[in-house]
Structure 1
Amino acid sequence: MKPNLQAVAGLLERPEILDGGATVRGFAGDQLVTFRLKLRENGSVSVVWTEVSVPAPEGLIVGIRLPTAREEREVQKGLAVAFRTGDSEFDKVFIVDGAPERMVREIIDDEEIRRGVFSLRSPNVFFVKYEVLTQKGAFTLQMPGWVDEADNAALAVRTMAKLGVVAARVMGRTRADAEAGYRGANDPGRRKRDQEEVEEAMRRILVREARRRRGENLGKFLVGALLVVILAGVVAFAIGPEIASRLR
């Protein structure tokens, strides 16, 4: 049974409770925020997590996550991108990537965003990673478990609302310059490089997701193989005495 999200609704203006009480949508100032409690059945195991999402401007990708051992090795070998923020405490814990780099850096330069993501962090579990990801036109903070405590829920809402506001401001400035024909920091050449960086970031995301799926499938295969071995042992134990009696 899902927790009651009335307390979360109280954090937002003009809240709507949707999906049978599993989702709350409303505004933090002018920023639309969606707070969801998620449940997925995986065989006999129930996987639960929380998502807090805000709209993402088209052409901007942000990723903040606790790295796997593989990702740490890839960064060390130069096979993956990790932006440094200059916040040593934050940089020790998170990998930050995305595109365009100059816009991502402006977002993570915001101390309120960094402190919120840092304070809410929770360990990765097998099926759910703690991360901020860009998907389906939204920036989403994904947290293992159901997070409905007032303090953590409020911090998650504030953090993602601020991320949405900063992202919209950064992208809005670039679009305004493009429409005005401005040829300064956001000149056409710079905007072309921005697009190339976005395409490269999308490629990295697809590769990372494919690896994650392979890892999950391998885990399921190993569990299945272990169950087969256990079942075979049980069967052998059960029929062994009968076979032995026939051989006497």
Structure 2
Amino acid sequence: MNFSAPTGNGGTALLRRLVWLRFVAVGLLMPGLTIWTSPVRANPHGGSVVHGDIHIGAGTGGHLQIHQGSANAIINWDSFSIAAGELTQFLQPGTSSAVLNRVTGGDPSAIHGALQANGNVFVINPNGILVGPGGTIDVHGLVLSTLDVSDGEFLAGGDQVFKGASDQGVTNLGRINAIGGDVFLIGKTVTNSGAITATGRVGLAAGEEVLLTAAENASGERIFVRATGSGVSGTGITNDG
């Protein structure tokens, strides 16, 4: 499996390895970018615990609390969206804790409200992920991806390969803040027109197979896209946030 840096916007290895937000990302703005305006179900719905100690609250009054008692946890959701004025809050054991939220239903994730956690949050949805203009995410660390990662790799805490057949992307129009950790947006296309701040790394990766390493390499990088001889049609990054 060969993961490497791109050779350029039109090169044969057009698979973008990493875009640091302190630079202007020169990517491809793909036509057909969807901004979902359909009604959003209030807070994540239909959660099923796959691994770990998790208690999902009733979500009354527009405030859903998810209590995590184990270091790592996995939840499959029918839908994972947050309406404007709503709050989804993960209460985790500590900043090194992580929860993988995988959407198994057919709707994209639209975060127009607030997502909060004191640990690390992964949201995986092959149907697409949008952080709307009024959406806010305040966590220790964050991964938003339309490509999937195996349960085993997530729980092992080492290198993780994100892959899948999804042709959807991740779009941030809101505000993402990672206090102490990293932020990674991964998808077939990735667009950031909002604000992303992090104590650690901020990375955008567009492709069909992405490697997120547990530790930085000699150049300080953690995220890579698999290079192929012919490139991958329809991948691209836009960063004007």
Q: Compute the TM-score of the two structures, normalised by the length of structure 1.
A: 0.23
For the pair shown, the structure with the greater C-alpha radius of gyration is 1
More strand by share: 2
Q: Compute the TM-score of the two structures, normalised by the length of structure 2.
A: 0.24
More helix by share: 1
